Structure 1
Amino acid sequence: MSDIRIHKTGEPDILQASDGRLTLSIPIQIKRRSGRKLVTLPNGETAKARPRDHTVVTTLQLALARGHRWHTMLESGEVKSLREIAAREGVDSSYVSRMVNLTTLAPDIVAAILDDTLPDNIILFDLTVDPPVLWDKQWERIK
């Protein structure tokens, strides 16, 4: 049976049961970054993730795809405004606007999103809210 205990000391703990079984507890923190969960160890290191299954789409990849799809809908004349897209999709128009902002990202940032190689501290909000026009400034902002 699983048993989760939180120790205030933050130190690893080994418990030995009367039948000889050992229980090892290691304090960790779980943080969300870009829709992923990261495990932070007591010494501050981030645990290395296993290789990703490339059939799993990340939050950033999904947002990028939505932004480009909605931008294409605007350019083609399929819709007349972001507000119309929002009504069709059942989302807020400010959300649509932020996702369309992703279409102005530097090509190397887009490649990093698609390859899932952006640093883990970069979240969707960092990329979508008022992105700088100059590509060099975009990298400076998220570093």
Structure 2
Amino acid sequence: MTLLVGSTVAADRSDPSLVRLVAKAWALREALVSSKAPSLTAFAAEQGVSQSYATRLVRLAWLAPDIVEAILDGRQPAGLTASGLMRDTHIPLDWQEQRKVLGFV
């Protein structure tokens, strides 16, 4: 898919792995907030993933809304990948800091 941007054409850079990761993070958030999952440990067991993976995933459920939107629209920085997000254990909670750390500003 291509998008017209001004007088140039930009390729859709949507990353399916990154989109899936954000979707999984939001599903985890919903399960925890709605009490469908009594704990992160229970969620991990139910999903067949390690507690470490679930812990890394839950951090992504609180990304700034504009970061999530950019990822879903394929407008993330070129170096932002699903594996990179899962490796980074120091994503700040502050949305402005998230934008800096993840390359959105």
TM over 0.5: same fold? yes
The 3 A distance-change label for structure 1 pair 108 and 93 is same
Q: How many residue pairs end up in the alignment? A: 92
Instruction: Give the secondary structure class of the aligned counterpart of 1:121.
Output: coil
Alignment TM-score, normalising by the size of structure 2: 0.75
Instruction: Give the secondary structure class of the aligned counterpart of 2:53.
Output: helix
Larger Rg: 1
Instruction: Give the secondary structure class of the aligned counterpart of 1:77.
Output: coil
For residues 68 and 11 of structure 2, the distance between their equivalents in structure 1, rounded to whole angstroms, comes to: 23
Find the partner of 2:47 among 89, 109, 116. 89
Q: Which runs of 5+ in 2 are unaligned?
A: 1-9
Alignment TM-score, normalising by the size of structure 1: 0.57
Greater RCO, 1 or 2 (C-alpha within 8 Å, sep 6+):
2
Instruction: Give the secondary structure class of the aligned counterpart of 1:99.
Output: helix
Any idea what the Cα deviations from partners look like across 1:51-97, whole Å, max 9, x if unmatched?
A: 57x8xx71111111111111111111111111111111111111112
Task: Tell me if 1:142 matches 2:98.
Answer: no
The 3 A distance-change label for structure 1 pair 51 and 126 is closer
Indicate conservation of the 8 Å contact 1:126/1:142, yes or no: no
Instruction: Give the secondary structure class of the aligned counterpart of 2:71.
Output: helix
Aligned residues with identical type, % of pairs: 35
Any idea what the Cα deviations from partners look like across 1:3-33, whole Å, max 9, x if unmatched?
A: xxxxxxxxxxxxxxxxxxxxxxxxxxxxxxx
Kindly report the root-mean-square deviation, in angstroms, between the aligned alpha carbons of the 2 structures.
2.2
